[in-house]
Structure formats: C-alpha cells, structure tokens
C-alpha cells in the first residue's frame, strides 16, 4: 500500500477516523502535501460498518449526532455529503419512571418538562439558557450533578430524561464538569438528532473521493510504529518498517497511545507526562447487531432511537455493568438505505473494558452468547416476533473495538474530558506534533471529531506557514 508514497510530506496524518480524515482534507485543500496512514484496511475509524452473509450491512456508530454536522460537512467536505444528513424524528424513552416519544429538541423538551414533569416554565427556560451559555473557558468546577440539583432538586426522573442519552453518547457522568454536559446537550437540543442517509459506507466512500480530489495520498493497512522527534521537532514516522519524513504529524490515534507508544515519554517534560498519565480513558461499549430477513419489517412505532432501561433509577455504574439493565436500540428501516427492503437493529450498551478483556477465552465466548440471548429476550418487548424474523445476529465487545481501532481499552470516545488540555498542549512540547482524535466529551462523537479535525488543521496550517518564512 505504501509503494506510491513519497519519502517526505509537509504533514503525515496517523489514522483515518473522522478527525484524521477531516484534518487531512483541510490541510491538502490549503496546499500542503499530506499523507494519511490508516492501519485498518478501510477508512472511518469508529465511524464504520461491516457486511455479513445475506447482504446485510451493519452500521457501528451511526446512531445520531447534532444538526451541526450539516454545516461542518458543507464547509469542510462537500454539499453532497451535507445534503444526506437527515433528521431522526422519533426518539423514545422507556424505563420504570416514564415512557415517551420526543423529537429531542428544545421546544419538545420544554413542553414535556412543563406539561408532563410539571416543572415551572421559568425554571426550564433558565436551565436551557444556562446550558447553552456554557463554553470551554467557563467554570470547570461545577459538576453536572450539581447543575441538575440547582434547577431540579430531588427530581431523579428529570435527571434521567436529561442525562441518560448523553451518558450513552459519550460516557459522561454526573461527576464530570457541567460544561461538558451543557455543550453537548445544547448541541442536540438546538434541532434534534440527525443521521446519514445511505449509511456509513456511503459517507466514508464520499469522503475518500474528496480526499483523492484534494490530493491527499491515502494508505490503508499502514500501521505507524513510531513518531520520530529530533531536537524537539517532528522528523517523520516509521510505517511498516519504512521511514517517511514530515514537518508536522497529526495523530488521530488514541491520545495516550500517541504519547506513550508512538512518541515515547522521554520526548516530553516531566510535568506534561504527569498530566498525560492522569488522563482517564473513556469507557467502552458492547453491541448486538440484528438483521431481519429481507422483506420482514419492524413497526415504525418502535421509533428510530430507543433509550430503554429496566433499572428503577438512573445510575452511571448501572449503564456500564455486564448485568445489563439499559440498552439503546437503533432501528434501521429501509429508508436508511434507499432501495433496500431490510430492517436492522443495533443494541448498544456502555461497558468496562476489563469486565470483558480479563475473561478466559471460554468465558468470553459464553459472555458474548449470553449478551446476544439476553438482548434478543429484551427486544421482544418492542419487536415481539424478533426471533422468528431474525436472519443474522452477532455481538461486539470492548475487545472488538480495541482490535479494529487500536484504541487503548477499546475506548469509545478516546479519553475523559481532561484529555483535551493534554491534546492541545502537545505542540508546545514537540514542534510540529498535533493530536486530532476523540478527547472526552466535547471533541468526540461524529460532529466533535470532524470539528476537532478542522481546529487542529488550522493550527498545523499556521505552524507550516510560519516555518516556511
């Protein structure tokens, strides 16, 4: 795959996730020579899909993202990509506290909170305004739990409505800084939840075409083994035993993997390494992928996205437990892939890496089978004849995510929030070294990854322009 690669580039991007691809595209469009190296045989990173016998195509992380994706795709990719971003209108909650359907935007949530949860309209308005005003430079001491306590004291049901989807989306907890919650929640509330019509394979295919048109050299199955630094500056990388020079490197790989495995801690100051060590990895996930026989339909009343739980109250640790009580179902109807006559369902849970990775092989396989069977039991509440309609089923665990993306501990969203400061501090340690990959709550998810790719590309562009002078 590397045979056509040159010996030297302005920038090498390590990793073809949404952040890496967006950074590469933007830098090439600015006139820099760019090489994108991806260890897997296809681009996309966690924004991925896979095919299975019978013609089934499963999306792994296409469950929903905020409306901002339209603008970001139009500006930094193409109108064609942006035009395929469409709204999911039926978001459902079903738990022992409440069952409801919503469009998951400010207007509908206000109505629900006032009419159904009987919160005064003025309190709801103040809460939305407070969440929307938060930005990265705000007070980082207040936690999400404290924010809820201020506006909705003692209302576990309200907290569940407001928090459960965000915890599913990015693993954030009531103990995390409130601004992480506020920014992501407000992004969704501005206009609801969106998806990509045609599936992840179509999106990544269109992005690959754009990368080519922008002049990015793309190599897949290209595992970067080392980032070289000399005299405090980037020299290049070693990939598949070959050294390729560069003035700048953007790593889209896991932040901690970049620092400790690809660069090596001796290239950083002791303080920086201490801060990097303290960064916590995000949790991982499990998924069960279910395909119905061609032509078998699911009743659209199931909704597009369903947050279901049998737990009496909302607790973050319950969402991570192997004893699953909460699942998010994504229902994919034929409209997702125009022209198809198929329905698929993906059931996701948050998960702890070590609950799976530490199991002996036999127990691990049994755990996967149990995950499939309990999910098939649970989904009969919504699709009663699921087992009869089922054509194919398969499960993924934290080990699966680790294997395909090389994310340490199979982390779904890279690191926790504190990773952002370390990611942003890299270039102060090594001239020309940047990171554009998931770091916690804001800079992760499809929209966060794309936007972070743009922010970092702008930094790299400024660095390169300065070094030309």
Binding site residues, ligand FAD, CB under 6 A: 14-20, 37-40, 45-47, 60-61, 63-65, 223-224, 252-253, 285, 287, 348, 401, 405-407, 412-414, 437-438, 444-447, 449
Rounded distance, CA 384 to CA 6, Å? Answer: 57
Nearer to ligand FAD, 61 or 316 (CB): 61
Report in angstroms how near the CB of residue 330 gets to ligand FAD at its nearest. 8
Q: Nearer Cβ to ligand FAD, position 60 or 234?
A: 60
Nearest distance from residue 215's CB to ligand FAD, in Å?
A: 20
Pick between residue 168 and residue 382 the one whose CB is nearest to ligand FAD: 168
Q: Closest distance between ligand FAD and the C-beta of residue 149, in Å?
A: 28
* Shortest reach from residue 419's CB to ligand FAD, in Å: 11
For ligand FAD, give the closer residue by CB, 294 or 367.
367
Q: How far is the CB of 130 from ligand FAD (least distance, A)?
A: 24
DSSP 11-36: EEEE--BHHHHHHHHHHHHTT--EEE
Tokens 């070289």 -> residue:
228
For residue 216, what are the contacts with CB-CB under 8 A and spacing of at least 6? 24, 25, 28, 34, 35, 36
Q: Between 247 and 407, whose beta carbon lies closer to ligand FAD?
A: 407
22 contacts 76 by C-beta, under 8 angstroms: yes
Nearer to ligand FAD among residue 144 and residue 412 (C-beta): 412
| CA gap 110, 181 in Å, rounded | 18
Nearest distance in Å: CB 451, ligand FAD: 10
**What is the three-class DSSP state of 366?**
helix
Per-position DSSP letters for 248-263, written without gaps between them: EEEE-S-HHIIIIIII
In whole angstroms, the minimum distance from the beta carbon of 189 to ligand FAD comes to 15
Q: Given the complex with ligand FAD, which of 195 and 309 has the nearer CB atom? A: 195
Q: How far is the CB of 366 from ligand FAD (least distance, A)?
A: 22
Q: Which of 56/407 has CB closer to ligand FAD?
A: 407
Name the residue nearer to ligand FAD (CB basis): 20 or 236.
Answer: 20
Least CB distance from residue 441 to ligand FAD, whole Å?
10
User: In terms of CB distance, is 152 or 186 closer to ligand FAD?
Assistant: 186
Residue whose CB is less far from ligand FAD, 158 or 378: 378
C-beta of 47: minimal distance to ligand FAD in Å?
A: 4
Shortest spacing between CB 459 and ligand FAD, in angstroms: 16
């Amino acid at each position: 795959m590397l045979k056509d690669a040159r010996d030297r580039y302005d920038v090498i991007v390590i990793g073809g996730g949404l952040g890496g691809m967006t950074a590469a595209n933007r830098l090439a469009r600015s006139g820099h020579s760019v090489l994108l190296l991806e260890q897997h045989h296809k681009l996309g990173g966690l924004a991925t899909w896979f095919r299975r016998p019978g013609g089934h195509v499963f999306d792994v992380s296409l469950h929903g993202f905020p409306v901002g994706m339209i603008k970001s795709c139009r500006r930094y990719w193409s109108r064609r990509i942006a035009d395929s971003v469409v709204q999911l209108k039926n978001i459902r909650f079903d738990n022992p506290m409440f069952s409801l359907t919503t469009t998951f935007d400010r207007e509908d949530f206000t109505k629900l909170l006032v009419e159904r949860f009987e919160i005064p309209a003025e309190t709801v308005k103040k809460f939305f305004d407070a969440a929307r005003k938060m930005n990265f430079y705000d007070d980082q001491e207040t936690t999400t739990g404290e924010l809820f306590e201020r506006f909705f004291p003692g209302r576990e049901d309200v907290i569940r409505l407001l928090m459960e989807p965000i915890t599913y989306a990015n693993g954030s907890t009531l103990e995390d800084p409130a601004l992480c919650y506020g920014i992501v929640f407000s992004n969704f509330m501005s206009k609801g939840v969106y998806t990509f019509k045609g599936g992840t394979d179509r999106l990544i295919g269109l992005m690959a075409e754009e990368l080519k048109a922008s002049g990015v050299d793309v190599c897949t199955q290209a595992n970067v083994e080392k980032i070289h630094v000399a005299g405090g500056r980037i020299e290049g990388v070693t990939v598949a035993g070959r050294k390729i020079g560069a003035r700048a490197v953007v790593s889209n790989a896991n932040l901690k993997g970049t620092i400790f495995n690809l660069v090596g801690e001796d290239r950083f100051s002791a303080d920086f390494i201490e801060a990097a060590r303290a960064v916590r990895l995000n949790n991982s996930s499990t998924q069960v992928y279910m395909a119905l026989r061609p032509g078998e339909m699911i009743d659209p009343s199931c909704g597009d996205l369903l947050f279901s739980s049998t737990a009496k109250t909302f607790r973050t640790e319950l969402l991570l437990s192997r004893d699953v009580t909460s699942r998010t179902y994504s229902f994919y109807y034929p409209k997702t892939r125009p022209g198809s006559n198929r329905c698929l369902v993906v059931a996701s849970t948050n998960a702890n890496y070590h609950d799976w990775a530490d199991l002996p092989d036999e127990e691990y396989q049994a755990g996967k089978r149990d995950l499939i069977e309990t999910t098939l039991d649970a989904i009969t509440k919504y699709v009663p004849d699921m087992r009869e309609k089922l054509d194919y089923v398969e499960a993924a665990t934290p080990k699966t995510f680790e294997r395909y993306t090389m994310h340490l501990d199979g982390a779904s969203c890279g690191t926790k929030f504190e990773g952002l400061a370390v990611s942003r501090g890299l270039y102060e340690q090594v001239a020309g070294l940047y990171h554009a990959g998931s770091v916690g709550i804001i800079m992760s998810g499809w929209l966060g990854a794309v936007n972070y790719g743009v922010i970092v590309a702008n930094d790299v562009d400024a660095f390169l322009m300065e070094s030309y002078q």
